[in-house]
């Protein structure tokens, strides 16, 4: 069955033709900055026209409240000033197909819930142009009678804070969102967008780091409130700000960990060319965050300093020219193993996990698939080899996978099971460098 999938966001519109579980075509454009429904309607018409063929239904995830087929913006500035739009009626007329529409964060919440290893009550928070959310309790997505449930960005965090586009003062969205971060900038940072401010923060700019830290603390307070109200076991944070900036998620984790309720999880999704945390969640299980990235984005990635330092040390040693073997980079605190071997099919390999060291796996040549699981997931493992800091596992519940190309790296935190060296389309020779960083360096 072919579905025309549409995503309506504050920054861009995206559409894809989805056949089964595969995206066969995709297009995107900027969200029109217009208060008229006609502008959005024409933008959508142009966007989806080349993707309409063979589709038998339309599925839409959109910012704002979706109720009885109508899109209502709580914060109209997130849609170029547009307050309301007859979403289902417009798309039905354009395509002559059945249309299902839901709030984007609610849709993401349900998707995240479906891949959780446990049937936890969970909340999804998206931090992007705005701040949204979705709540799943007792296995059911909570949308509310009017579609408002989960719009957690419009809870008040600072009565004296900036005015939010919804009309309230001090909403989480007005402070923690990409737009809120940019609006708070002054002096030489005035006029920069959130992306540029994160880059400046990664370079050590004091004001930029303060803006990001304030945003992270605000989100951390929201996570604690969400836990208190829902008693959820899991909070997943996503979005271009929430999951896309390591410096942000690190600050958020530090702020909430004082209450003992923040940890991390890896979740599936489209892989960005920029280094990013794939997901983080709040609970008491001590899970961590898998991080994927590539070398050209290292300087602006926001990785913790010790991890960036380890990668820099390894690159300085020119691992692509090294013979396979063990190389000390900073004594026993940071070292590198260079490997060259033929990939195998996943069923021929076992997963591994570590406790004392963080694994940074950098692919130098070839193509490699790595299977991985959530820290703490059910697994069948052999004995623990403490002197060599590893354990092998024959089964990991809820395994996911990623593919590395040369120049890409992945970071596995302690306790995260992973199965490297797997074949992609066919087996083949690869060369890689695995940097080992003592985990205690991150808490020193």
Sheet of strand 262-263, all strands in order from the earlier edge strand to the far edge: 140-142, 131-137, 122-127, 234-238, 280-282, 262-263
DSSP bridge partners of 411: 291, 360
* pLDDT tier at 277, thresholds 50, 70, 90: very low
Coil, helix or strand at residue 296:
helix
pLDDT of residue 284: 26
In this predicted structure, the answer to whether residue 366 has a pLDDT above a threshold of 80 is yes
CA 306, 311, 316, 318 dihedral sign is: positive
Which phi and psi angles does 5 have, rounded to 5°?
Answer: -100, 135
In this predicted structure, the answer to whether residue 281 has a pLDDT above a threshold of 50 is no
Same CATH fold assignment for domains 107-256 and 291-442: no
Q: How far apart are CA 267 and CA 63, in angstroms?
A: 21
pLDDT of residue 300: 54
DSSP state of 429: E
* pLDDT tier at 280, thresholds 50, 70, 90: very low
CB–CB of 2/51 below 8 Å? no
Summary mean pLDDT of the chain: 83
Mean pLDDT of 388-395: 90
Residues 170-218 have pLDDT tens digits of: 999 999 999 999 999 999 999 999 889 988 987 889 999 889 888 888 9
Residues 103-122 have pLDDT tens digits of: 988 888 887 787 666 667 88
CB–CB of 127/173 below 8 Å? no
pLDDT of residue 122: 87
CATH of domain 291-442: 2.60.120.370
DSSP bridge partners of 419: 371
Q: How far apart are CA 183 and CA 77, in angstroms?
A: 13
Domain ranges of the chain: 2-97, 107-256, 291-442
CB–CB of 208/200 below 8 Å? yes
pTM higher than 0.85, yes or no?
A: no
Mean pLDDT of 380-397: 87
Cα angle at 315 between 313 and 318, to 5 degrees?
115
DSSP symbols for 99-167? EEEEEHHHHHHHHHHHT-SS---EEEEEESSSEEEEEEETTEEE--TTS-TT-GGGSBS-TTSPBPTTS
The number of C-alpha atoms within 13 Å of 168 and in the hemisphere containing its C-beta is 16
In this predicted structure, the answer to whether residue 314 has a pLDDT above a threshold of 50 is yes
Q: Return the percentage of the chain with pLDDT > 90, whole number.
A: 44
Mean pLDDT of 367-390: 82
pLDDT of residue 400: 72
CA 393, 402, 197, 10 dihedral sign is: negative
pLDDT of residue 376: 60
Sheet of strand 2-8, all strands in order from the earlier edge strand to the far edge: 22-30, 12-19, 2-8, 57-62, 99-103
Coil, helix or strand at residue 435:
strand
Q: Return the percentage of the chain with pLDDT > 70, whole number.
A: 84
Which residues are CB-neighbours of 148 under 8 A, at least 6 positions away?
65
| Yes or no: domain 107-256 corresponds to CATH 3.40.630.10 | no
Mean pLDDT of 233-241: 80
In this predicted structure, the answer to whether residue 95 has a pLDDT above a threshold of 80 is yes
Domain 2-97 CATH (choose: 2.40.50.100, 3.30.420.40, 1.20.950.20, 3.90.1640.30): 3.30.420.40
Burial of 273 (0-12, 13-18, 19+ CB in 10 A): exposed
pLDDT of residue 301: 53
Output b/e per residue, 344-357; b: 16+ Cβ within 10 A.
eebeebbbbbbeeb
């Amino acid at each position: 069955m072919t579905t025309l999938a549409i995503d309506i966001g504050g920054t861009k519109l995206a559409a894809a033709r989805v056949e089964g579980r595969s995206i066969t075509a995709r297009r995107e454009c900027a969200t029109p900055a217009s208060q008229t429904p006609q502008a959005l309607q024409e933008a959508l018409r142009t966007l989806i026209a080349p993707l309409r063929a063979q589709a038998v239904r339309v599925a839409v995830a959109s910012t704002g409240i979706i109720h009885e087929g109508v899109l209502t913006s709580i914060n109209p500035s997130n849609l170029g000033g547009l307050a309301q739009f007859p979403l289902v009626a417009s798309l039905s007329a354009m395509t002559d197909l059945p249309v299902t529409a839901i709030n984007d964060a609610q849709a993401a919440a349900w998707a995240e819930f479906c891949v959780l290893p446990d049937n936890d009550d969970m909340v999804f928070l998206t931090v992007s142009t705005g701040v949204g959310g979705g709540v799943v309790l007792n296995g059911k997505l909570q949308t509310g009678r009017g579609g408002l449930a989960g719009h957690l960005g419009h809870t008040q965090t600072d009565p004296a804070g900036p005015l939010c586009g919804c009309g309230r003062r001090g909403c989480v969205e007005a402070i923690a969102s990409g737009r809120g971060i940019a609006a708070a900038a002054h002096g030489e940072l005035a006029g920069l967008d959130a992306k540029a401010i994160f880059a400046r923060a990664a370079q050590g700019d004091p004001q930029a780091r303060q803006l990001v830290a304030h945003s992270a603390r605000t989100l951390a307070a929201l996570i604690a409130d969400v836990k208190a109200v829902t008693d959820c076991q899991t909070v997943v944070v996503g979005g271009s700000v929430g999951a896309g900036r390591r410096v942000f998620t690190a600050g958020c984790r530090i702020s909430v960990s004082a209450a003992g309720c923040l940890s991390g999880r890896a979740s599936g999704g489209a892989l960005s060319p920029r280094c990013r945390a794939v997901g983080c969640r709040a609970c008491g299980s001590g899970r961590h965050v898998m991080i994927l990235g590539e070398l050209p984005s290292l300087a602006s990635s926001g990785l913790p300093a010790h991890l960036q330092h380890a990668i820099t040390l390894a690159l300085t040693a020119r691992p692509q020219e090294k013979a396979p073997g063990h190389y000390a980079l900073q004594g026993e605190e940071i070292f590198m193993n260079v490997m060259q071997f033929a990939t195998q099919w996943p069923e021929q390999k076992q997963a591994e996990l570590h406790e004392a060291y963080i694994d940074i796996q950098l692919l130098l040549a070839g193509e490699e698939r790595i299977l991985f699981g959530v820290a703490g997931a059910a697994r069948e493992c052999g004995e623990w080899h403490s002197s060599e800091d590893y354990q092998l596992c024959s089964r990991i519940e809820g395994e996911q996978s990623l593919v590395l190309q040369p120049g890409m790296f992945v970071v596995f935190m302690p306790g995260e099971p992973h199965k490297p060296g797997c074949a992609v389309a066919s087996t083949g020779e690869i060369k890689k460098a695995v940097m080992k960083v003592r985990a205690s360096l991150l808490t020193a």
